[in-house]
Chain A
Amino acid sequence: MRFRALAVVCLSAVLAGTVSCGSKGSQKEIVIGEYGSLTGGIATFGISTKNGSELAFDEINKKGGVLGKQVKLLVEDDQSKPEEAGTVVTKLINQNGVCAVLGHVASSHSLAAAPICQSNQIPMISPSSTNPRVTQVGNYIFRVCFIDPFQGAVMAKFAADTLKLKKVAILVDVRSDYSVGLQTFFRQQFRQLGGEVVVEQSYSQGDSDFRAQLTAIKAANPEAVYLPGYYTEVGTIVHQARELGITVPFLGGDGWDSPKLWEIGGAALNGCYFSDHYSTDDPNPAVQKFVADYKAKYGQTPDALAALAYDAARILADAIQKAGSTDGSKIRDAIAATKDFPGVTGSISINSDRNAVKPAVVLKVENGKFLLTETIKPEAVKL
Chain B
Amino acid sequence: MRGGLAAALVVAGLLLLNALFTGALAPAFALPPYLLQVLCLAGINVTLAVSLNLINGFTGQFSIGHAGFMAIGAYSAAYFSVTFGEALRAALGFLPPFARDGAVLLVALAIGAFLASIAGFIVGVPSLRLRGDYLAIVTLGFGEIIGVLILNIDAVGGARGYSGIPKLANFFWIYLFAALTILVVYRVVHSSFGRTLVAIREDEVAAEAMGVHTTRAKVISFVVSSALAGIAGGLFAHYLMYVNVRSFTFLKSFEIIIMIVIGGLGSISGSVLGAILYISLTEGLREFAQYRMVLFSLLLVILMIVRPQGILGHKEFVTFLTKRRRSIGAAPGTPGNA
Task: Report A-B touching, CB under 8 Å.
Answer: yes
- Of B159, B240, B276, B287, which contacts A86 at CB under 8 A? B240
Partner-binding segment picked from A1-9, A28-36, A221-229, A366-374: A1-9
Count chain A CB atoms within 10 A of each CB in B151, B280, B311, B312 and give the residue with the most. Answer: B280
Which residues from chain B contact A11 at a C-beta distance below 8 Å? 276-277, 280
Q: Establish whether residues A174 and B161, one from each chain, have CB atoms under 8 Å apart when the complex forms.
A: no
Which residues from chain A contact B240 at a C-beta distance below 8 Å? 83, 86, 112
Q: Establish whether residues A83 and B247, one from each chain, have CB atoms under 8 Å apart when the complex forms.
A: yes
Q: Establish whether residues A81 and B159, one from each chain, have CB atoms under 8 Å apart when the complex forms.
A: no
CB neighbors of A among B268-294 (8 A): 273, 276-277, 280-281, 283-287, 289-290
- Of B158, B163, B247, B311, which contacts A4 at CB under 8 A? B311
Which residues from chain A contact B287 at a C-beta distance below 8 Å? 21
Partner-binding segment picked from B27-35, B50-58, B120-128, B129-137: B27-35
Taking beta carbons and an 8 Å cutoff, which residues of B are in contact with A? 32-35, 37-38, 41, 151, 158-161, 163, 240-244, 246-247, 273, 276-277, 280-281, 283-287, 289-290, 307, 311-312, 320
A181 to B286, CA, bound (A): 33
With both chains docked as a complex, state the minimum distance between the C-beta of B294 and any C-beta of chain A, in angstroms.
Answer: 11
A86 to B33, CA, bound (A): 13
With both chains docked as a complex, state the minimum distance between the C-beta of A33 and any C-beta of chain B, in angstroms.
Answer: 12
- What 8 new A-B contacts, CB under 8 Å, besides A18-B280, A108-B161, A180-B159? A14-B281, A14-B283, A38-B289, A82-B244, A87-B41, A90-B34, A112-B242, A177-B161
A39 to B291, CA, bound (A): 11
With both chains docked as a complex, state the minimum distance between the C-beta of A190 and any C-beta of chain B, in angstroms.
Answer: 21
Q: Establish whether residues A18 and B289, one from each chain, have CB atoms under 8 Å apart when the complex forms.
A: no
**Is A79 in contact with chain B by the CB < 8 A criterion?**
yes
Q: Establish whether residues B311 and A7, one from each chain, have CB atoms under 8 Å apart when the complex forms.
A: yes
Which residues from chain A contact B289 at a C-beta distance below 8 Å? 38-39, 77, 79
Which residues from chain A contact B33 at a C-beta distance below 8 Å? 90, 93-94
Q: Establish whether residues B290 and A112, one from each chain, have CB atoms under 8 Å apart when the complex forms.
A: no
Task: Please judge, given known A-B contacts A3-B311, A90-B37, A115-B242, whether A175 and B320 are in contact too, CB under 8 Å.
Answer: no
Q: Establish whether residues A180 and B158, one from each chain, have CB atoms under 8 Å apart when the complex forms.
A: yes
A131 to B161, CA, bound (A): 13
A88 to B242, CA, bound (A): 14
21 contacts between A and B (CB under 8 A): A1-B320, A3-B311, A7-B273, A7-B311, A11-B276, A14-B277, A17-B284, A18-B280, A76-B286, A83-B242, A83-B244, A83-B247, A95-B32, A108-B244, A112-B161, A112-B240, A112-B244, A115-B242, A174-B151, A174-B159, A181-B160
Top-4 shortest CB links A-B: A177-B160, A14-B284, A14-B280, A94-B33
Per-position contact with B for A35-47: 1 when CB-CB < 8 Å, else 0?
A: 0001100000000
Count chain B CB atoms within 10 A of each CB in A11, A18, A86, A131 and give the residue with the most. Answer: A18
A46 to B38, CA, bound (A): 24
Which residues from chain B contact A175 at a C-beta distance below 8 Å? 151, 159
A121 to B247, CA, bound (A): 26
Q: Establish whether residues A180 and B281, one from each chain, have CB atoms under 8 Å apart when the complex forms.
A: no
**Is A91 in contact with chain B by the CB < 8 A criterion?**
yes
Task: Please judge, given known A-B contacts A79-B289, A111-B242, whether A7 and B284 are in contact too, CB under 8 Å.
Answer: no
With both chains docked as a complex, state the minimum distance between the C-beta of A357 and any C-beta of chain B, in angstroms.
Answer: 24
Which residues from chain A contact B320 at a C-beta distance below 8 Å? 1, 4
With both chains docked as a complex, state the minimum distance between the C-beta of B94 and any C-beta of chain A, in angstroms.
Answer: 28
Q: Establish whether residues A111 and B276, one from each chain, have CB atoms under 8 Å apart when the complex forms.
A: no
- Of B34, B35, B242, which contacts A82 at CB under 8 A? B242
**Is A22 in contact with chain B by the CB < 8 A criterion?**
yes
With both chains docked as a complex, state the minimum distance between the C-beta of A103 and any C-beta of chain B, in angstroms.
Answer: 15
A21 to B276, CA, bound (A): 18
**Is A163 in contact with chain B by the CB < 8 A criterion?**
no
* Main DSSP-derived SS at the A contact region: helix
Instruction: For B245, give the chain A residue with the smallest CB separation.
Output: A175
Q: Establish whether residues A174 and B158, one from each chain, have CB atoms under 8 Å apart when the complex forms.
A: yes
Which residues from chain A contact B286 at a C-beta distance below 8 Å? 21, 76, 88, 91
Q: Establish whether residues B163 and A111, one from each chain, have CB atoms under 8 Å apart when the complex forms.
A: yes
**Is A19 in contact with chain B by the CB < 8 A criterion?**
yes
**Is A176 in contact with chain B by the CB < 8 A criterion?**
yes
- Of A22, A39, A180, which contacts B160 at CB under 8 A? A180
With both chains docked as a complex, state the minimum distance between the C-beta of A179 and any C-beta of chain B, in angstroms.
Answer: 8
Which residues from chain A contact B285 at a C-beta distance below 8 Å? 14
A271 to B243, CA, bound (A): 39
With both chains docked as a complex, state the minimum distance between the C-beta of B210 and any C-beta of chain A, in angstroms.
Answer: 34
With both chains docked as a complex, state the minimum distance between the C-beta of A138 and any C-beta of chain B, in angstroms.
Answer: 12
Task: Please judge, given known A-B contacts A175-B159, A177-B161, whether A18 and B284 are in contact too, CB under 8 Å.
Answer: yes
A38 to B284, CA, bound (A): 18
Task: Please judge, given known A-B contacts A4-B311, A4-B320, whether A86 and B32 are in contact too, CB under 8 Å.
Answer: no
**Is A10 in contact with chain B by the CB < 8 A criterion?**
yes
Q: Establish whether residues A177 and B37, one from each chain, have CB atoms under 8 Å apart when the complex forms.
A: no
A3 to B274, CA, bound (A): 13
A260 to B247, CA, bound (A): 28
CB neighbors of B among A100-122 (8 A): 107-108, 111-112, 115
Q: Establish whether residues B32 and A111, one from each chain, have CB atoms under 8 Å apart when the complex forms.
A: no
A38 to B287, CA, bound (A): 13
A15 to B41, CA, bound (A): 14
CB neighbors of B among A49-83 (8 A): 76-77, 79, 81-83
Which residues from chain B contact A131 at a C-beta distance below 8 Å? 160
Instruction: For B248, give the chain A residue with the smallest CB separation.
Output: A83
Task: Please judge, given known A-B contacts A83-B247, A112-B242, A175-B159, whether A18 and B38 are in contact too, CB under 8 Å.
Answer: yes
With both chains docked as a complex, state the minimum distance between the C-beta of B293 and any C-beta of chain A, in angstroms.
Answer: 9
Q: Establish whether residues B277 and A18, one from each chain, have CB atoms under 8 Å apart when the complex forms.
A: no
A94 to B34, CA, bound (A): 6
Instruction: For A12, give the chain B residue with the smallest CB separation.
Output: B280
Count chain B CB atoms within 10 A of each CB in A4, A7, A181 and give the residue with the most. Answer: A7
Q: Establish whether residues B159 and A19, one from each chain, have CB atoms under 8 Å apart when the complex forms.
A: no
Which residues from chain A contact B281 at a C-beta distance below 8 Å? 10, 14
A112 to B289, CA, bound (A): 20
With both chains docked as a complex, state the minimum distance between the C-beta of B332 and any C-beta of chain A, in angstroms.
Answer: 16
A3 to B262, CA, bound (A): 11
Which residues from chain A contact B312 at a C-beta distance below 8 Å? 4
Instruction: For A17, give the chain B residue with the smallest CB separation.
Output: B284
A174 to B150, CA, bound (A): 12
A91 to B276, CA, bound (A): 19
Q: Establish whether residues B311 and A91, one from each chain, have CB atoms under 8 Å apart when the complex forms.
A: no
A76 to B288, CA, bound (A): 11
A180 to B37, CA, bound (A): 32
